[in-house]
Structure 1
């Protein structure tokens, strides 16, 4: 299910593209803390999806392929 991880990375990149002009706007201490938290969360999302793409971790349960049990016949 690499396509889901890739789509999530692209969506996170799009959100960064949309938010980037606002990051350089008026900076108060509260807005700086908000944007720092937002960027940390973005890095966590991108890193987790890259780990899924590189098969460093198992994909989420909903995206795991179901394995069919092998049945041995009585021949």
Structure 2
């Protein structure tokens, strides 16, 4: 569902909005490592949700809608 991807993107931007002022204040190497890892994870989250939103990748299994007919076809393909 595209609604979930949009909500996750908005939440990621919301978190970035609050984190951005604290990123330049990092002085110690461990702080820089933390913010680097945090920003990397944020980019992965945004990229994954954009890929789902733009139909580049399939949404998670829980968000996929499979009709009864498609389920029978998939089960038939797995058997052969």
TM-score (norm 2): 0.82
Alpha-carbon offset, residue 66 of structure 1:
2.1
What is the aligned partner in structure 2 of residue 73 from structure 1? none
Q: Deviations over 1:18-65 (max 9, x none)?
A: 111111214111100100000000000000000001101110000000
Q: What is the root-mean-square deviation of aligned Cα atoms in Å?
A: 1.3
Extract unaligned runs of 5+ from structure 2: 71-80
TM-score (norm 1): 0.87
CA distance in structure 2 between the partners assigned to 1:26 and 1:54 by the alignment: 35
Extract unaligned runs of 5+ from structure 1: 71-75
CA distance in structure 1 between the partners assigned to 2:25 and 2:51 by the alignment: 33
Q: Which runs of 4+ in 1 moved over 6 A?
A: none
Structure with the higher fraction of residues in helix conformation = 2
State which structure, 1 or 2, has the greater radius of gyration over its C-alpha atoms: 1
